[in-house]
Structure formats: structure tokens, C-alpha cells
Chains A and B, each alone.
Chain A
Amino acid sequence: MSRVEVGRSYIGESVVRPQAARLLAGRGVFTDDVVLPRMLHVAFVRSPHAHARIVAIDALEATALPGVAAVVTGEGMASVCAGWVGTLAHFQGMKSAMQRPLAVGKASWQGEPVAAVVADSRALAEDGAARVRVTWEVLPAVTDPATALDPATPVIHPELGDNLAFALSLSSGDPDAAFRQADIVLSETFTMGRHTGVTLEARAILADFDPAERRLTVYHSFQAPNMMQDVAGEGLSTRI
């Protein structure tokens, strides 16, 4: 297999990737392949509702399960990890609610994690998650962007004021005059599916905190590790 050779011109050449050999032999190292000493696994209890208040979380049975090390809920997590606001600085005026590792008080989307069960194996963690009982008060869900700003529509994140995340209006020339003078005006509504990365390797993260050196090492299936270093550092800054 090829190696980068100093002095060789690669322009116009088809070069075999140096990493291909180990990936073709089953010797790649993906996040879930990494095993660390005293490693624990986590499973999440997630909201089945798009919008619901968390009335109570009963974790007694899960905590008592052999092999379960801890059950963490939103309040406990918030005391060690700050939230994160996923806005882009170059989109001025963009709003987003604070995202926390675990929901505090209410869930704002279906699948939002509300409790984390930590155990000796993933199977045991899932056993524990199945034994966490959450009492929900279901709130009205907002699922239609076309009516999301109507006065009658509930505001999902009251601290943001309304349900508008971002508005951008671009205009050039005189579109109104162009429409008036056009021979034919066609009007159509376009919809498109949500676009997101769907890698075959599932989302995975492995974190190793060394309290002696106050050093956090994170293994993560992610394309921008420097961004995640910043998010982890900010979120855990009071603890590390």
C-alpha cells in the first residue's frame, strides 16, 4: 500500500489510500471499538411526547438493579454540566433554546433524553432504562411551521418569546413590478425533507476523565473534534 513519498509528484496520479489496508482487514478503530479500564455504558430514557412536563421520575427500581452504577436526571446533570445554545454567529438574530444533556422540567421534542442510566454493560443499562418510570403531563405539541407563529399557538420555549428561530429576507431589484408586468405568474409551494447526516456508524461517544490530572479525553464519532472540545470544555468548565 502506498505511503507519501517526499519528492514525488502526485498530480494526476491515482493513489491508493494508506488507511485502506487496515480498514479492509477489519482493523479499523471506530468509537465503539475502544475499550478503557473500568468503562461504563449509558442508556437514555427518552420522552415519548413532543411536548410534556416531567411531573416525576421514579428511578428506585433501576438504581437497585445489580450492575447499575447510577441513574442521573436533568437536575443532577445540570449541576455538573452547563447547557449549550446551538446558534450560528453569522446568522444575526438566530434564536435557539438552551440544550441540556438531559431535559430539566419538561421535554420539548420527542426523543429528548430525560434520564441517563449508567451500568456495567449496555444491556444492563438498557435493563435499567426500562425500569425508570416517568410521570408526564402532556402539553400541546407544535408541529406545523405554517401556524407556529399564530397567537393561538403555544410558545414551546417561553424564554425565547415566540416560536421563530430565524428570519432572513433577501430582495433585489423590483420583484413587485416584475410580477405585475409578467405575462404569466405561477405560484407553487415547495416542501423538502429534513437533511441530516446518517452515518452507518451510529452516534457514539466515550469519555475518560482523569481527576488526578483534571484531564478529559473524549472519543467521538464526529467530523469537527475542535468544536466538540470547545463545547465539552465550556459545558464542564466548572468541573474540570
Chain B
Amino acid sequence: MEDTVAISLTVNGASVRRRVEPRQSLVDFLRYELELTGSHVGCEHGVCGACSVRVDGAVVRGCLMLAVQCDGSRVDTIEGVAATGEARDLQQAFALENALQCGFCTPGMLLTAQDLLARRPNPSPEEIREALSGNYCRCTGYHAVVAAVRRAAEVRARA
């Protein structure tokens, strides 16, 4: 019903060219057009953080950004981060601390925590809570998540 717009971008290191409706959100584009279903849609209004992805290095809400805004950008999702292994120690820490239950919030938690550790290699529990305050978990709670991020920070400090 709407005219489509051609965009070209880099997603998880690969070149992507598509025609998209101007109204399509980035997370819907990733999920429906590219079948990258690791980014999740929870609240659809920027509150829950389940759709967190990286655009040009910054963690953003995939539901609050349009796909057309990412023309020329580099987008990284949980699938790409898992493939490169850049957060392997963080993923391992989440597993060891059992910092997930249903796993729906987990990709967003990982991307946000990875961003925090890049800026603050040795964050306090309070800083971790503040950084993750925009990522909702509705089953496990946050203690194990904070412990997992602390564990990953300690592993990186020793590396």
C-alpha cells in the first residue's frame, strides 16, 4: 500500500540490500525480512529492551528505529555477536549464573551488558543495575544478571 524505499546496510558483517516500507521498524525488518529472530519484540514502545540491537556501535531500541533510518549503517544483532565470539565470556557467565529463565530478554541483556563492559570494564553492581534498567526481565529477576555481568568483568580483568 505504501511505496517501498531501497536501503543498503551491513548486518552482522554481511551486505544487505532490500526494499522496505518506510513505516517498517528496524526490529521487524531484522525479524521478518532477514529472519534474524534473536531480536525480540516485547512492548513495541521502547520500554522493555527485548529488541535491543547495535547500530553503528550504539545499542538502540529496534522498535523505535525505522529500517529506512539504517540505510548505510552497520547493524549488529545477537546472532552476529554470538558468531564473532566477542561476548563468549559474557554468554558463559550468564549460563554459569543461570541469569536467564525463558530467555526472551536475554539477547537484549547481553548486548546492553556488552556495551557497558566496553565503556566501564569494572562496573559496580549499582552501575550494572543502572545500565540494565532499560532491559526488563519478567521471570528470573535481576540478581543473577548482575552477578553474571560482574563475573564477566572479572574474567576480562584477568585475561
Q: Are A201 and B21 in contact (CB under 8 A)?
A: no
Contact in complex: A16, B82 (CB < 8 Å): no
Within 8 A of A (CB), among B55-114: 77-79, 82, 91, 94-96, 98, 100, 102-107, 110
A200 interfacial by beta-carbon distance below 8 Å: yes
Q: Which of B37, B50, B79, B100 contacts A23 (CB 8 A)?
A: B100
Q: How far is the CB of B28 from chain A (nearest CB, A)?
A: 8
Q: Which of these, A1, A35, A200, contacts B50 with CB under 8 Å?
A: A200
Query: Do B38 and A26 touch across chains, with their CB atoms under 8 A apart?
Result: yes
- CB neighbours (8 Å) of B32 from chain A are 121
User: Which listed residue, B35, B82, B95, touches A17 by the CB 8 Å rule?
Assistant: B95
Partner of A24, one of B31, B95, B102: B95
Establish whether residues A20 and B95, one from each chain, have CB atoms under 8 Å apart when the complex forms: yes
- Within the complex, the shortest CB–CB distance from B85 to chain A, in Å, comes to 11
Q: Measured between alpha carbons, how far is A20 from B31 in the docked complex, in Å? A: 21
B48 proximal to A (CB < 8 A): yes
A contact face: mostly helix, strand, loop, or mixed:
loop
B40 at the interface (CB under 8 A from A): yes
- Chain B residues contacting A121 (CB-CB under 8 Å) are 32
Residues of A within 8 A of B79 (CB): 25-27
Chain A residues closer than 8 Å to B95, beta-carbon distance: 1, 16-17, 20-21, 24
* A201 to B82 CA separation, bound complex (whole angstroms): 22
A26 to B39, CA, bound (A): 7
4 shortest interchain CB distances as A-B pairs: A26-B38, A23-B103, A26-B78, A33-B37
CA distance A20 to B150 in the complex (A): 19
Give the distance in Å from the alpha carbon of A25 to the alpha carbon of B106 in the complex: 9
Check B100–A24 contact: CB distance below 8 A: yes
| Chain A, Cβ-Cβ closest to B49 | A200
Residues of chain B touching chain A, judged by Cβ–Cβ distance below 8 Å, are: 1, 21, 23-24, 31-32, 35-42, 48, 50, 77-79, 82, 91, 94-96, 98, 100, 102-107, 110, 136-139
Min CB distance A167 to B, Å, is 33
Please encode chain A, from 71 to 105, with 1 for each CB lying within 8 Å of some chain B CB and 0 for all others: 00000000000000000000000000000000000
Q: List 13 A-B contacts (CB under 8 A).
A: A16-B95, A20-B94, A20-B103, A23-B106, A24-B82, A24-B94, A24-B110, A25-B78, A25-B82, A26-B77, A121-B32, A200-B50, A200-B137
Which of chain B's residues has its CB closest to A20's CB? B95
Judge if A202 is at the interface, Cβ distance under 8 Å: yes
Interface contact B102-A199, CB-CB below 8 Å? yes
A202 to B8 CA separation, bound complex (whole angstroms)? 31
Assess whether A127 is interfacial by the CB under 8 Å rule.
Answer: yes
- Residues in A with CB closer than 8 Å to B136 are 200
- Inter-chain contact B98/A16, CB cutoff 8 Å: yes
A209 at the interface (CB under 8 A from B): no
Q: Do B106 and A201 have beta carbons less than 8 Å apart?
A: no
**Complex: A191 Cα to B48 Cα, angstroms:** 28
CA distance A23 to B78 in the complex (A): 10
The one of A32, A33, A200 in contact with B48, judged by C-beta atoms closer than 8 angstroms, is A200
